[in-house]
Amino acid sequence: MSRVLEIAGLVKSFGGLTATDHVSLTVESGEIHALIGPNGAGKSTLINQICGELAPSAGRIHLAGQDITRLRADERVALGLGRTFQITSLLEDMTVRQNLGLAVQVREGRNFAFFDNVARRREIWDETDAALAETALGPRAGVLVADLSHGEKKQLELLMALARRPRLLLLDEPMAGLGHLESQQMIETLAAARTGCAMLLVEHDMEAVFALADRISVLVYGRIIAVGKADEIRANPEVREAYLGEEEA
Ligand X SMILES: Nc1ncnc2c1ncn2[C@@H]1O[C@H](COP(=O)(O)OP(=O)(O)OP(=O)(O)O)[C@@H](O)[C@H]1O
Q: Which residues bind ligand X (CB under 6 A)?
A: 14, 17, 19, 37, 39-45
Cβ proximity to ligand X, 37 vs 151, nearer residue: 37
| Shortest Cβ 42–ligand X spacing (Å) | 4
Cβ proximity to ligand X, 24 vs 44, nearer residue: 44
Cβ proximity to ligand X, 13 vs 98, nearer residue: 13
Cβ proximity to ligand X, 14 vs 115, nearer residue: 14
Q: Which residues, in sequence order, are bridge partners of residue 172?
A: 202
Give the SS3 label for residue 204.
coil
Cβ proximity to ligand X, 35 vs 100, nearer residue: 35
CB neighbour burial string for 11-30, b if at least 16 within 10 angstroms, e if fewer: bbeeeeebbbbebebbbeee
Cα angle value 193/123/95 (rounded, 5°): 70
CB 222 within 8 A of CB 191: no
| Shortest Cβ 21–ligand X spacing (Å) | 10
Measuring CA to CA, how many Å separate 192 from each of 131, 169, 198, 204, 228?
11, 14, 12, 21, 22
Measuring CA to CA, how many Å separate 67 from each of 5, 20, 225?
10, 19, 25
| Shortest Cβ 217–ligand X spacing (Å) | 12
| Shortest Cβ 141–ligand X spacing (Å) | 33
- Dihedral (CA of 89, 94, 100, 101) sign: negative
Give the SS3 label for residue 86.
coil
Cβ proximity to ligand X, 39 vs 88, nearer residue: 39
| Shortest Cβ 218–ligand X spacing (Å) | 11
Cβ proximity to ligand X, 48 vs 183, nearer residue: 48
| Shortest Cβ 214–ligand X spacing (Å) | 21
| Shortest Cβ 177–ligand X spacing (Å) | 14
Assign residue 59 a region (left: φ > 0; alpha: ψ between -120 and 50; beta: otherwise): left
Distance CA 223, CA 215 (A): 17
